[in-house]
Amino acid sequence: MEVCGRSRGVVVLQPARTVHSFLAQAEYLGEVTCGLGIALTATLVTLPVALGVCAGLFAVTAAVMRRAPVSADLG
């Protein structure tokens, strides 16, 4: 959390930036994990099957994102 000031000896923090940082780290972890899964798939099967798996993963992601509610801007 970023310190944005002090009030009577109490540190005032900005949790929105911490939440954003946490979500960014979760996104990066997901990208690495999915990347390794796709790489493993590509080594075990033929190229057309690996590309089909990637297309399926993209379609699932698009469907999930379409259903996700729009959140308010934190920053």
pLDDT digits 0-9 by tens, 29-63: 988 998 898 889 889 998 889 899 889 989 998 89
Please report whether residue 73 resides in a domain: no
If DSSP states are collapsed to H, E and C, what string results for 30-69? HHHHHHHHHHHHHHHCCHHHHHHHHHHHHHHHHHHHHHCC
Please report whether residue 38 resides in a domain: yes
Please report whether residue 72 resides in a domain: no
Please report whether residue 49 resides in a domain: yes
Q: How many domains does the structure of the chain reveal?
A: 1
| pLDDT per residue as tens digits for the range 12-30 | 566 677 777 888 898 899 8
Structural domain span for residue 35? 2-67
Non-local (6+) Cβ contacts of 7 within 8 A are none
Please report whether residue 75 resides in a domain: no
Please report whether residue 27 resides in a domain: yes
Please report whether residue 74 resides in a domain: no
- Whole-structure pTM value: 0.52
